[in-house]
Chains A and B, each alone.
Chain A
Amino acid sequence: MIQKKICILGAAGVGKTSLTAQFVYSKFSEKYLSTMGVKIDRKQVEVGNTSVNLMIWDIHGEEKYKKITTSYLRGASGIITVIDGTRPDTVPTALEILERVEQDLGIIPNVFLINKADLTDAWCIPNDTIEELAQHHQSTPVYKTSAKTGEHVEESFLKLAEMLIQS
């Protein structure tokens, strides 16, 4: 069996834990609990004929005075970078985090998730931004996800798993 460590990163409150919970347990809670440090989950997925055990490191959200502990990123094979679709300021945060990660780990497979797609009224990420993100390192998959409804959640994690096997 292949095991891969992936890290889910982003600004605080973008929905990293909810996305992980939706992917691993198919559950969603309206309650917001800030992640302290790191929370680790595991889910086995099938990529073609290969079983991949994804060890998902849900790392606390990046805040102004609380930077991500880079040691948690060590050994990660892939990254999921999460942006809040209702908060445009989470885009630059996500890009900053990604830059730091790439400084430490080099360029590794990454998927952008723009979360909270169910909040259509509050949505404020223009399509231009989405296109720019998709052009990161020539091509990076971008998904508009909803941890609440499960929209594109599994799809995006599976995409990353696929990228990990192919890389």
Chain B
Amino acid sequence: MTEKNQSPQASSSDIQALREILFQEESVRIDKIETLLNDKNLHAKAIAEVLAEAVRLRSKEGNQLGEALQPAVENAITASIAKNPKPLSDALFPVMGPSIRKAINHAIAGMLQSLNQTLEHSFSAKGLQWRLDAFRTGKSFAEVVMLNTLVYRVEQVFLIHKETGLLLKHLSFDTSGNEDADVISSMLTAVRDFIQDSFTTSSDQEEQSLRLGDLEIIVEQGPDTVLAVVCRGNIPRSLYTNMSIVLEDIQHEFHAALQNFDGDTSHFDHVETLLSTLMISDYGKKQEEESSSSQKPLIVIVGVLSIALLWWGWHIYQNHINTTHWQHYIESLRHESGIVLTHVSEKDGLHTLTGLRDPLSKEPASLLKTFELNKDNVQYKFQPYRSLDHDIVLKRAIQRLQPPQGIHLALKGNTLYISGRASKAWADYAEKQALWVTGIEAVDTRQLIQPTPLIERIRKAIQPSNDIHLQLNGSTLTLTGKATQAWLKHAKTSIESIPEVANYHDEQVIRTDSPEYLLSLAKQALHTPKSVTLRMNNDKILVAQGYASKQWINQAKRTMDTISGIQGFNYRALKLSDDVILARAMKILQPPASVNLSFTKGILIAQGIAPETWVKHAQENALLIQGVHSFSTEKLHLDTSPWQKLNIEVQSIHLVSTNKKPTLTSHDKTILKKLADIYQKSLKLNPTTQLQILAFYDADTKLVARIRLNKIISILKAYGISQLQINSQLIYQGNKAIKFSLLKTKEATH
């Protein structure tokens, strides 16, 4: 009972005590486990110990870990860059540098390859053919080169709904030509259906291809879609595999849209990323080009050598030119007064000139420009000296004497001659000073006039020009030289105011404005022929009479304009000498009507048909005619020649068309038969005779004339005249006649 009366707390504590005895060890362990579970720090520690191994193990099993971590990693990178981009950029620096370099190298290599392709084919025979193709097709040369060197390129991709043939998506390597993609898509479907129906091929056959010229269309079918790829070149087998993969991906990704397709293609906008993986191309080298690439180094070497050769040639040429110029320069310096060259040398392109130079001589560098030489390439080492060269001595004298205006200095030998008007004081000074000038040993002043006060007064009054000389003998003043009448009148009046001059003479002065003087000037300038008479009228107009050539008259007109004082040139009374000679020839030779005479440049020309007797008479007398230097009968035909008679007969034949049709009448054909017969006769007289046919046409009948001419030629050929014996010409002359004549070829005339 006691046990039964025990309180429940007491029994509970007993159980607790018992539990503690029995499970003390387990309880401690459970506490430890709880602590472990609840302590986050201990968790982190534990995970940290196994995390690396866990990631490694999970990564081996698949991509799930990467996919799971992707958002976290992206966020982490974004946050890191937002906070401070430097650590990340520092970390990526070793990676980015090579990546960028690689990308740039790749781009440059591509560009060089394209350039190489164009250059390689620019000058080859194939290149020329491609240039022709480019010209013919209107494409650029680079495009043609690309098309021919292309290994392959996917140009267009069509994703087609299999059942309806409707276009779901289309990609093209360029934007042109996309307008009809939907029609092409339907048409491809129709063609596919047609082929399947016609050749009973399996509709599930995976690949179909269609070749159209350079293009190949590969069609790959999926359950709901058809993928058509338009390629150019040799397609790699991998493309077929890629197409299958893309089709599978599309089928997988757009399965629902394809199943429920109702014509709305907007559901397939995102398919582009899948299809774009098929837009591939390869411009790699073809085998045949690889062989040509082996020649590339040779071409480069030849090119470099050619450039080097050209440069060398140019260098030699320049050197030669420089040397020649230099020699000419040295030569000219040697001839220069006041310069003595003792030594000329050249080192590294620098020329050194050594010698003596008078300070009054010409500056040597001033001549460099004349010979296109550079002053930087020349060095002068001249010692000064006093030259005894004529020019230098004279220069020295002028420098020393400083002669006033009107004084002239001349040097003959060692004597200085001074002439002109100067005061006595200057004359004395000059005489003394001149002897101090190196190179002058004597002075002659006999020609030096020392003017008197009277003559100075006279000069002041009349103000003579340099052409007038005054001479005063006592009270008699005599003028000589040239002057106008007006000046002479003024001079005479002025002299009258000077009482010391009792006598004045100007008769010897030539009046430069007198008709006589002007006439003499004109005669001197014109080289007047004997057949021309010149006179000067009171109005100072030159009048020419007689016979002259046109050439002389034109020359005289031009010359007269240059002579001052002459107011005009009247040549109306002149007759053309050619006309006169021709008139004289006509009178003497009396040619028959069939002969035409002409005269030019001293040659009398006779042309036409003339009797033999007249030709003989003309040849005997023509050269006797004054002014005729030669008589030409090259264009003159003797009418006694049987061949010429036939020619006259042929020339009398002509066909006239009355309408604008090229038809030939039976009458025309009869005439042509007659013509052919005459021609055959002329051939016997001269085997090189040709039949000349001149077909005239007007504005509307050129084509008709050509057809008629061709018909006439074919008829004449039928009558035995060959093409080589016919000389035909179409001539625009405003009528529609066809004329004939016989021609002797050069062989015959010679």
Contacts and interface: CB of A to CB of B under 8 A. Distances in A.
A134 interface: no
A77 interface: yes
Contacts of B165: 5, 55, 74-75
A96 interface: no
Interface stretch (A36-44, A122-130, A140-148): A36-44
B264 interface: yes
A41 B262 contact: no
Contacts of B161: 75
A103 interface: no
A160 B303 CA distance: 72
Given A57-B190, A77-B164, A71 B196 contact: yes
B190 A55 contact: no
Interface in B427-484: none
Contacts of A4: 166, 263
Nearest to A70: B197
Interface string A62-88: 000000010110111100000000000
Contact of B164 (A40, A71, A76): A76
A54 to B, nearest CB: 10
Interface in B181-213: 182-183, 186-187, 190, 193-194, 196-197
A1 interface: yes
B265 A5 contact: no
Contacts of B266: 1
A38 B183 CA distance: 12
Interface string A10-45: 000000000000000000000000000110111000
Contacts of B163: 74-75
B167 interface: yes
A53 B182 contact: yes
A40 B263 contact: no
A69 B194 contact: yes
A139 interface: no
A57 B164 CA distance: 11
> Chain A's interface: helix, strand, loop or mixed, by majority?
strand
B167 to A, nearest CB: 7
Contacts of B187: 40
A2 B164 CA distance: 13
B265 A57 contact: no
Given A55-B166, A75-B164, A3 B182 contact: yes
Given A3-B166, A5-B164, A42 B193 contact: no
B190 A37 contact: yes
Nearest to B186: A40
A146 B68 CA distance: 67
Contacts of A5: 164-166, 186
B468 to A, nearest CB: 104
B233 to A, nearest CB: 28
B190 A38 contact: yes
Given A71-B196, A75-B161, A75-B163, A2 B186 contact: no
Interface string B167-181: 100000000000010
A41 B183 CA distance: 6
Interface in A70-114: 71-72, 74-77
Nearest to A73: B193
Given A71-B196, A74-B163, A40 B264 contact: no
Name, among B163, B194, B263, B265, the residue most crowded by chain A CB atoms within 10 Å (CB to CB): B263
Contacts of B262: 2
A72 B166 contact: no
A37 B190 CA distance: 9
Interface string B594-638: 000000000000000000000000000000000000000000000
Given A3-B166, A3-B182, A42-B183, A71 B263 contact: no
Contacts of A71: 193-194, 196-197
Contacts of A41: 183
A36 to B, nearest CB: 10
A102 B535 CA distance: 123
A164 B161 CA distance: 18
Contacts of A57: 186, 190
A148 B194 CA distance: 31
A153 to B, nearest CB: 20
B193 A72 contact: yes
Given A42-B182, A42-B183, A77-B263, A3 B167 contact: yes
Nearest to A41: B183
A55 B182 contact: yes
Contacts of B164: 3, 5, 55, 74-77
30 contacts: A2-B264, A3-B166, A3-B167, A3-B182, A3-B263, A4-B166, A4-B263, A5-B165, A37-B190, A38-B194, A40-B187, A40-B190, A52-B263, A53-B182, A55-B165, A55-B166, A57-B190, A69-B197, A71-B193, A71-B194, A71-B196, A71-B197, A72-B190, A74-B164, A74-B165, A75-B161, A75-B164, A75-B166, A77-B263, A164-B263
Given A40-B187, A69-B194, A74-B193, 19 more contacts: A3-B263, A3-B265, A37-B190, A38-B190, A42-B183, A42-B186, A55-B165, A55-B182, A57-B186, A57-B190, A69-B193, A71-B196, A71-B197, A72-B193, A74-B163, A75-B163, A75-B165, A77-B263, A164-B263
